[in-house]
Structure 1
Amino acid sequence: MSDLAQAGVYPASAEFTQKAHVDAEKYEAMYAESVDTPEAFWAEHGKRIDWIKPYTKVKNTTFEFGKVDIKWFEDGVLNVAHNCVDRHLATRGDQTAIIFEPDDPQDPAQHISYKQLSENVNRMANVLLSQGVMRGDRVVIYLPMIPEAAYAMLACARIGAIHSIVFAGFSPDALANRINDCGAKLVITADTAPRGGRRTALKSNTDAALLHCSDKVRCLVVKHTGDQTSWIDGRDVDVKYLMKHASPDCPPRPMNAEDPLFILYTSGSTGKPKGVVHSSG
């Protein structure tokens, strides 16, 4: 047995390594640099994304008893949605950005280009603005795996709102807990979520959850399957209808690198779910 095998390390095949973006030797050198000189390493690799205002500070960490403070690129300004979408439009606007495979294999797949993605994200962003969502507001996304889920996340990033994804399999109680904990202004859901031939009544779950939330929380509904749902005038809004009539132009808001991008909650299996905040930079 070779020394590598004894150490539990098994080299990739020659055929696999030939297709790799970074060969093993270069990767080892990059990894060593990231460990030995992390500030210089990330100062260089941070330039791989677009900055509205370039950073001058790379890493700022404080580790004290009872206190941990970590900041990255803290004086830089950027927009995540611009980096995910806009920066690709000039060179690959017609290239596929998202392939959506419906739950029913008989239904055709959707190939969404960067140009189409940009238009839909901008329309969704303008819908959120029309519902009073502002920079720093929290938006809970309770959707199946459909294109509108990506539009919603990127739209929030575009206008500086903070999104929080809630798994479509979670109960009304779990949804209500997360809406209340983050102080969400709005929840985005769908009529039903098809999965494996079955459908989960997301709108009904959301209705049940909102009974335990502030009356000010608005509900945007994606009519995805067309299943009949309840409707509360003044609170529930048809997302696709509003997107159809919204402007396809919405400039990205400048965001500080340390501004929150999203909140992701732990499962809550060992206690109250804890919201973990991920910054924009």
Structure 2
Amino acid sequence: MGFLPDYSLHYLFETLLVAVLIYVIMRNRAKRQQEKLSKKLTERQKDELIAEWVPEPLVPETPQDHPVLNPKYADGKMTKEVSIDGEKYLNMASTNFLSFIGVKRIEERAKQTIFKYGVGSCGPRGFYGTVDVHLDLEKELAKFMGCEEAVLYSYGFATVSSAIPAYAKKGDVIFVDEGVNFAIQKGLQASRSRVEYFKHNDMEHLERLLLEQEQRDLKDPKKAKTVRRFIVVEGLYVNHADLCPLPKIIEFKWRFKVRVFIDESWSFGVIGKTGRGSTKTGRQKPVHHRNVENMYTKKA
């Protein structure tokens, strides 16, 4: 067996090498733990660090000349002219088109009404929110507009947003100017009807949509009998400050057998010689109210 190589020294060397490696690893670990313990802060050191810490601001500092830090204050009543910090300005942010605010006669009547009825109806019209002045005003409005009846709403936004779903239901189709106000948009959503938008005051586009609906009705006459069709516009568009082409819309009403809603929120009392809205404006041919199916919607 003498010719076999002797590996004993080789094995011994490898064993010593592994032992040294384990010793170095364990020594370094112990050294790190000792350093970690030596770096542990005392309570006093912690308090000092916390006291010295200054957080970064979440947002940049507001300049001293920023409008938020220097608000303007309006003095007196918000009439067609408003006084701000002693200087007079023309009030372009008001809907007081007829300058009723500040009229002594109206103020006195408002005081008398508040002393008698309080500051509000304090309830919905259908329950206990109706008083005699509501009924009197409805009669006067109906007489003024030449209608059979008028209905007052306590909340202006709810007028058209509830009137539309009261008539239009699921399965009906509503043709709407794309520039209508937000209240009309909410009424369209509540109706669950199919809504067809036409370009703002574009009667050619509206006519194309009506013709397409006419073709659908011819293909399915049975379904057409159950589908009600509406056109919804504004007398004076709040988002565009222009009038709707009402005579053309009334022409389409008779031609395509549709019902018409006109939101006169901004035109009633303002447009026309008598303040009766877009149907009596002098800029276009007068339209008799019966041609509009008496579907006026107004906000006080």
Shorter-chain TM-score: what band? 0.3 to 0.5
Structure with the higher fraction of residues in helix conformation: 2
| TM-score (normalised: structure 2) | 0.33
Report 1 or 2 for greater relative contact order, CA contacts < 8 Å, sequence distance ≥ 6. 1
